[in-house]
Amino acid sequence: MLKQHLQFKLSQKLSPQQIQLMKLIQLPTQAFEQRLKQELEENPALESGKAESDSLDDGYDDYEESGDSESIAAEDINIDDYLSDDEVPDYRTQTSNYSADDDEKSIPYASGISFNQYLINQLNTVHLDDQEWSIAEFLVGSIDESGYIRRPLGDIMDDLAFTQNIYTEENKIEEVLKTVQQLDPPGVAARSLDECLILQLKRRENTPSVELAIDILERSFEQFTKKHYAKLLQKHQVDEEGLKEAISEIEKLNPKPGGSYAGSTRIIEHIVPDFSIRIVDGELELSLNGRNAPELHVSREYSNMLEGYKNSKEKSKSQKDTVLFIKQKLDAAKWFIDAIKQRQQTLFVTMSTIMNYQKEYFLTGDERKLRPMILKDIADQIGMDVSTVSRVANSKYVDTPYGTKLIKEFFSEAMKNEQGEDVSTREIKKILETVIGDEEKKKPLTDDKLAKILKERGYPIARRTVAKYREQLGIPVARLRKQI
């Protein structure tokens, strides 16, 4: 019984090719193009573009692998299975349901020097002795992409000693740090958010509201972040209008000075939609990005090599080794082409089912018309595993008349309204967002009050559920939403 159980368990494991196919399905368009480029570089039997002949032949498709290629003798390979009567077949994957954007190949990058180099260039204009320059350069190298120095100066002092042979004191490093903090953008090289904001304010015109803003950040940062306005009014002996002007000055500041630097060499993330949905004569029309449908074929040169081996009277060991190599590469090329076909079919049928399931939304753009939909709903309709639908939904985007959307955003759990009808949790979140957007900012609504309002509108949900949805929407608690 134990042996049978083990055999059953083993039979459920995915083959390496199935795992590779799952990985291909998961790839969005740009990543897929990189994977395709890699395969073309690694397998000389696979070529892109149109083949020399348009004739299609089923001979190669009918070939069935008979185990590991290394265990097959050259004499056991039926060469004719790899050769057609005319040309090597062209496994084209382009069909009529792909959008015509094949030439859209470029991936944009940010141009210019790095943020780090931008700061170093500014240091060149500052008068520093050799040791100060080395410390300043090390401090610039310690600045993260948001523009902060997160490490304690004591640790930096130790690193300077161990890695640069520079022996100094913390107060010297602090002195040089103040010079680095004068570089652009304002707020750079701060060690905390309050220091970052104060550095920026000190570069502004010295007005009463700026002075008060600096005083608040220096003496009452915690009360400010918690929006304890009554305490701030009392502590700083200011009227409501004066506090409002000071807070307005703080709100204009940049909490991440490094993130705003346009010359950063980080890649600009440009989303390439994997699908496109259009409304044509009142009906939805789906297309898959044409960059997912490359034209591929098996190398003519490789077929000629096989033909040469077949016609050779004397077959040497090196020729036999070559034939085994060719077979391996042809098998890999055939599998990759078939896998791309399966990937396209899986993507198209999955998105098509999602589109039809959410037809009312895609026709109107009204998020309240999004039906409750979980992965299993789509998986059951297309007869595929939930994990396959998840791979499509989590990493793919669709271009719609209402903007480019991540597909997983269309999935949501169901809840019952007062009429006992299933409604999407996304619909409830949309209403919650609207209610909070319309609230009186001086007296923001607590989660209890929000739950009561939703109940009055026919959505009886608990306060803790309201809190969960609010957090998922990235909306802070009532106290932190308060304005004066």
State the pLDDT at residue 107: 36
Judging by DSSP bridges, how do beta strands 397-400 and 275-280 pair with one another? parallel
State the pLDDT at residue 414: 61
State the pLDDT at residue 73: 46
| Rounded-to-integer distance, Cα 173 and Cα 166, Å | 11
Judging by DSSP bridges, how do beta strands 283-289 and 275-280 pair with one another? antiparallel
Strand partners, 414: 424
Which residues of the chain, if any, have pLDDT below 50? 1-12, 53-77, 79-96, 100-111, 262-269
Cα dihedral 9, 15, 18, 24 sign: positive
198-215: per-residue pLDDT in tens?
Answer: 898 888 888 888 888 888
397-408: per-residue pLDDT in tens?
Answer: 999 998 888 898
Burial of 398 (0-12, 13-18, 19+ CB in 10 A): buried
Cα dihedral 62, 67, 68, 70 sign: negative
Residue 45 has phi, psi (to 5 degrees) of -80, -10
Contact 139, 177 (CB under 8 A): yes
Say which residue the tokens 């390439």 belong to.
272
State the pLDDT at residue 29: 87
State the pLDDT at residue 222: 83
Which residue in 113, 159, 119, 125 sits closest to 137, CA to CA? 119
Q: What is the pTM of this model?
A: 0.51
Contact 163, 156 (CB under 8 A): no
| Rounded-to-integer distance, Cα 231 and Cα 470, Å | 27
| Residue 155 CB partners (closer than 8 Å, separation 6+) | none
Distance set, CA 286 to CA 344, 349, 355, 406 (Å): 13, 10, 8, 15
State the pLDDT at residue 68: 37
Fill in the amino acid letter for 138: F
State the pLDDT at residue 394: 83
| Rounded-to-integer distance, Cα 147 and Cα 138, Å | 14
